[in-house]
Structure formats: C-alpha cells, structure tokens
Amino acid sequence: MSDAAVQLKPAGEAEREMTDGFHLIIDALKLNDINTIYGVPGIPITDFGRMAQAAGIRVVSFRHEQNAGNAAAIAGFLTKKPGICLTVSAPGFLNGLTALANATTNCFPMILISGSSEREIVDLQQGDYEEMDQLAIAKPLCKAAFRVLHAADIGIGVARAIRAAVSGRPGGVYLDLPAKLFGQVMDAEAGAKSLVKVVDPAPAQIPAPAAVRRALDVLKSGKRPLIILGKGAAYAQADDDIRALVEKTGIPFLPMSMAKGLLPDTHPQCAGAARSTVLKDSDVVMMIGARLNWLLSHGKGKSWGEPHSKKFIQIDIEPKEMDSNVEIVAPVVGDIGSCVQALLSGIDSKWPAAPADWVNSVKAKKDENIAKMAPRLMKNTAPMDFHGALGALRTVIKERPDTILVNEGANTLDLARGVIDIYKPRRRLDVGTWGVMGIGMGFAIAAAIETGTPVLAVEGDSAFGFSGMEVETICRYGLPVCVVIFNNNGIYRGTDSNAAGGSDPATTVFVKGSRYDKMMEAFGGVGANVTTPDELKRAVDAALDSGKPTLINAVIDPAAGSESGRIGNLNPQSVLRKK
Ligand SMILES: Cc1ncc(C[n+]2csc(CCOP(=O)(O)OP(=O)(O)O)c2C)c(N)n1
Ligand SMILES: [Mg+2]
C-alpha cells in the first residue's frame, strides 16, 4: 500500500474519520453498481487495483491494455453499463486508446480510467516518469474526456463519465486521474457526501409522434419494404418489441453482423441469405439502429439498384446521423426501445400484410442461395476449406444457441458471418464498424465474465495474434472460452511468395504448420489439433461441455481464402503494376 494510503489519519486529526482518493474512486464506482474493472497494473494504479479487489470489485488483469480496453467496451455493449478499463500513464494509456476509439466508433459505452503523471511537471514538460498530456490526446478519440484534480471532485467526475458514456448515443469516455489524486486525504463524511449516484444515466428519448406517423406512412407505402437491424438495436435490449414489430409487419429483415440473433437467422422473414437482392430491389428501407456507412455501401451505388429508387426511414438516437449519406425521408430520433414501442402502437389490425409477391420473391432467392451453399458446408475433407470447417461450427451453435460467438479475421470473419446462424440476441460479437483485428480475446474474456455463458471464439490465425497472449488470462481466470484458430498459414492465404525471390517470406504468410494449440497447453488449458470438420466438431463439443479453457488449431487449406475476404474491392490498385 502506498505511503499516502496508510496515512489515513494525519497527526492531530486522529479522532476524525478520514478517506482518500483511492477509497473515494472505489466508493464512487460501487455506488453506481460498477462491479468489474479490466486493466493492467503499474504506477500509479497498482494499489488502486488491489484495494478495489479487496473492496469486492472484480479486477481482471490482462497482459496488454488494448485487450483490457476491448473487454471493457464489449462489457458495455452487453450490459448497457459503462465497461471500465484501467491503465497506467503514457504507454499504458496509449495502449488503451485503440479500444477507446473503437468503442466510440461502435457506440459501446466504456470508460478508460488512466493514472497520469504530475500535472505541474507534465505541463512544464520537465520530463516526469511517463510524462504525457493524456487528456489532450484522448479528447478527439472519445465522446468526452475529464480530469479530476481534487479528491472532493471524484464523485462528480465519475458521475459525469458514467453519464457521458451511456446517455444518448453511447461511446468511449476518458477519465484522467493524476497520481497525486489517489493519496489526497479528506474528511470521510464530506467525502461520502461528495459522491453522486447517477439518476437515470441513459434517459429515455421519446420520438415525436409526428415523426412516428410519418415513418409508418412511408413504411406502409412500400411495395418492396425491407427492415435493417443494426448493432444499436441489439444494444437496446428491446428484443421482444423489435421482434413483434418485424413480425407484425411481415416485412423481410436483414440483420447487420452484430444484430444477428435479434430474430433467429432461421426466421422465415430473415433475408440474410438474399442480401444483395433485398438491397437492390427494395423500395422502402427502415433502418433500426443501423447506420448507412461503408458496411451498407453508404446507401447508394450499384448494390442499392437504381439511383434514388429508395425511401429511407431511419431510427437512431443521434439526430446528426440523419442524411449522413443519403436523404432520410422519415427520420425517427429517439432511443431504439421507445421508438420501436411507438411504432408498434401505430400498427393495428388494419395494417396491410407485406406484399406477397415481394415476400415470395425474397424467399425464393433465399432458398436458392441456401440450397447452393448446403453441399459446401457438408464437405468432410482434409485439409479443410473454410466452408467445411464452418459447417461443423454452424451445427455446434445450432445445438448450443446460448453460446456467444466471437469472430475476427478476413475470410474467417466474412464466411463465418454468412454460414453460422445465430438464434439469440447479442450472441455474435465481432470486429464491428472498423473491421479491427485484435478484439478476439478481450471480447471473449468479457463475454464469459459478464454473462457466465460459454464463448466460442472463431479466429483467423492472423487475427488471433493481435491478442493471443491473453490465452494466459483465460487460463488464469479459468474461463469457459473455446478458441478455434482457422490456421491457413497467414493473412488471407498462406501461399504467397516473395516477388523479389529472396529468403524473406512473403508479407502475408506465417510459419507454416504452426501449432497454436501448444500455446494453450503452456498455461494449463486444453489444446487440440484438428484436420477435419468431424474432428473439429468433436473437439469444440468437448470444450463447451467441459467449460475448460481450450484452443483448437484447425488446419485450413492455405490456398482456400481470398484476398481481404469479401472486401477485396476496397484495396487500391496500382495502375503501373498492371501495365
Ligand atoms: C488493427 C488492424 N490491423 C490490420 C488489419 C488488416 N487486416 C484485415 S484482416 C487481417 C488478418 C486476416 O488474416 P486472418 O485473420 O488469418 O484471416 P484469414 O483471411 O486468413 O481467414 C488483417 C491483418 C486490421 N483490420 N486491423
Ligand atoms: Mg489466416
């Protein structure tokens, strides 16, 4: 314990109860029902972590702050409470920033709490230990950033951070706590009074009745209507109402990646397997918690059919989202739960059935695509291709629909998204808006900790490398996480060669025939090496039955993948090289 912490009762005030920064931060978090911290210890937050653990907060120590940050972010997504990431100053803080920025981009509520160095020295740039103006650096990467300089302001500082993270459109918040703050002493009673329990941290935002009527009128006018469900809809935890809205209208729906499972992918109205058809041919599109960013081709261009052929209805909590890419004819601004409820109450028995010719043509296209895919998913050969391996995992999730699937990679991501059906809300967690690699182990750890449900992480061999050291964390905490590595010897494929012909390998390939399963065994977990879909299924079933930390090295044909998975078109091309 630091000197400051043990000097709780300065001389002459022995009879007065005192408190300090350490205790006030812990009390402020607990008062607001924050019971888990993800972080990496070091100066100036080591003692704080110990004391938080002693006070009953679950403090989960990682091997790298980026993974702790990703864990906090997804904890926020899963619970609607801000996930907390705790880092040391300068380098630890910087390591946490990618996750903070990613959380903000994905609208996950998290708070990056970082210790920082002496303000007086930092501001005069006199070269303190881990000197850095962290607040200034964090600001452009998050929703809000605050610094607390006085123990008496800890309560309000923590309250502001919580409210900023979860209210309106959720996102990342930075809270800067200089080293000196932790040891600052104040009267215990005054300290207790300074704490703030945030009242109604994410107030409902009720949509205007006129906006709801306009949206319903446009929706009703559609001859080929489509509903797109986004991650925001999954976050809202308005699962029953969203399902009721989709089912009452009878309109085909398309789930974005992390909205899969809000209604099962096997639902008769699910148009996931007819994605290109519904985007191109629909005339009215209602987006619920989904944005028209690159993942939806910005709402225009070839994939959306004839220019200006659509009317868009958008439901989002952020008014600035409207008209971001194309005209939104019916904006509905409010929280998803309130908006969906309002829309539902406008749908009565006179609501027209969805146009049958449209519904049938979507169904026909979907059945055709599913039938085309089916034989590829049943191939039980060695080496496996992606489809064969994913066919096995698809069956696992069908049999165990509560399992949370974490997924990252290129081919491993894009193909798994299409192949593995999800049956329940918030059971698929992935790279999100940025397509960022490195979320895997952080997401898996937090998903297991926050929900207590088994986690299956399906990882490209490259993707896994970004957070792979956290398998030790998984073993240390004994978490029910099964990691499957699709090992194709590299990024996209393992077959590239160095065009210069030298002894250096190509830029996209890794050591051939690596045995990632040995990494898990090194820490006392279970490792398995599999070469066929049958073996893969048996190994995953065993892992999920036992709940033991497991890593399965799934040997995939190195030639099976394609460049950048499904988004190879985004690669710039050299005209000169083509000549
Ligand atoms: C932080 C970050 N760095 C780099 C990338 C670029 N990138 C996209 S996918 C990928 C890895 C793809 O390889 P793998 O995970 O093995 O998947 P595969 O296609 O081989 O199945 C990389 C490095 C990224 N998306 N994010
Ligand atoms: Mg790979």
CA of 491 to the centre of ligand 2 (A): 4
Binding pocket residue ranges, ligand 1, CB within 6 Å: 409-412, 435-438, 460-463, 486, 488, 491-492, 561, 565
CA of 516 to the centre of ligand 1 (A): 17
CA of 462 to the centre of ligand 2 (A): 5
Ligand 1 atom index nearest CA of 460: 15
CA of 525 to the centre of ligand 2 (A): 23
CA of 440 to the centre of ligand 2 (A): 14
Counting ligands in written order, which one lies closest to the CA of residue 460?
1
Ligand 1 atom index nearest CA of 437: 26
In tens, the pLDDT along 62-101 reads: 999 999 999 999 999 999 999 999 999 999 999 999 999 9
Residue 10 is predicted with a pLDDT of 55
For residue 9, the Cα-to-chain-centroid distance in whole angstroms is 44
Residue 426 is predicted with a pLDDT of 98
Cα(21)–Cα(191) distance, rounded to whole angstroms?
9
Ligand 1 atom index nearest CA of 465: 15
Taking the CB of residue 398, how many other CB atoms lie within 10 A of it?
14
For ligand 1, atom 13, name the residue with the nearest CA: 491
CA of 412 to the centre of ligand 2 (A): 7
Ligand 1 atom index nearest CA of 459: 15
Residue-by-residue DSSP string for 419-450: HS---STT-EEE-GGGT-TT-HHHHHHHHHHH
Q: Which of 458, 505, 510, 490 is nearest to 564 (CA)?
A: 490
Average pLDDT score over the chain? 96
Coil/strand/helix, residue 260: coil
Ligand 1 atom index nearest CA of 565: 19
Coil/strand/helix, residue 502: coil
Ligand 1 pocket, mutate which of 102, 412, 462, 510 (most atoms under 8 A from CB): 462
pTM equals 0.96
Residue 185 is predicted with a pLDDT of 98
**Regions of the chain where pLDDT drops below 70:** 1-15, 578-579
Assess contact for 53 and 98: CB atoms under 8 A: no
For ligand 1, atom 6, name the residue with the nearest CA: 437
Assess contact for 138 and 200: CB atoms under 8 A: no
Residue 11 is predicted with a pLDDT of 53
Residue 12 is predicted with a pLDDT of 54
